[in-house]
Amino acid sequence: MALPTLALPGTLLGPASSYAPGPGTHMHEAAVYASVAGEVVTAPSPNPATTKLPLLSVTPPRARSFNDNSPNVLPEVDSHVLARITRLGARFASADILVIAPSSASDLAADATVCTTPFGAQIRREDIRATEKDKVTIQDSFRVGDLIRAVVISLGDQGGYYLSTAKNELGVVVARGDDGDVLVPVSWKEVRDMRTGKGEARKVAKPF
């Protein structure tokens, strides 16, 4: 398979038999995935004595400035976004929108714009999943610090935005444990620390 030029968290980059995971990536089930959004870069193996596989990494993009000649990019209904969870409540989770792709974008990675200033947003409990909404709990869906892929469903009160993760491809794309290790998805509702074997509940986004 051909390497993508840009990637979002969760993007499949290539088989572990052909590439060694580098900064901004992680390995899961014999494949290398992006852990951050950015440009996909390959480099010769830094230690040929250990492995001759090229090093595959993802370099985060430099934030675009809205002070140049390009127009401001604002979230709109149906925009796909990457956001970081900042607070958990009983009925909603608060988040900061970090990356925006317009509703007309055909490729989220290629058309995304990095926000210089995050936009505040909320995810209501009823907007987390499409089914069994009465069984959803915020604490079993997200944790503070999670990076999520979501879609804007409406302009909320006082300039905030309402997001939804109620599709298979939406949800948590990067989660970390208490010790900072990246947690790997093992199902649509669980991530796991592959070093310790400890599992945690999440509403996981289906990988690309």
> What does the pLDDT profile of the chain (208 residues) look like in tens digits?
678 888 877 788 888 889 988 888 888 888 888 887 778 888 887 777 777 888 888 887 654 443 444 455 788 889 899 999 999 999 999 999 988 886 655 455 556 788 878 889 999 999 999 888 888 999 999 999 999 999 999 986 655 799 999 999 999 998 888 777 788 888 888 888 888 888 899 999 987 5
Question: Which residue's entry shows tokens 């690309």?
Answer: 208
Question: In the prediction, which pLDDT does 185 show?
Answer: 86
DSSP state of 68: S
Cα dist from 41 to 25, 54, 74, 127, 173, whole Å: 11, 10, 29, 36, 20
Which one-letter amino acid corresponds to residue 8?
Answer: L
Q: Tell me the pairing of strands 80-88 and 6-7.
A: unpaired
User: pTM here?
Assistant: 0.65
Owner of token pair 């400035």: 65
* pLDDT value at residue 74: 80
Q: Measuring CA to CA, which residue among 1, 4, 10 is closest to residue 150?
A: 10
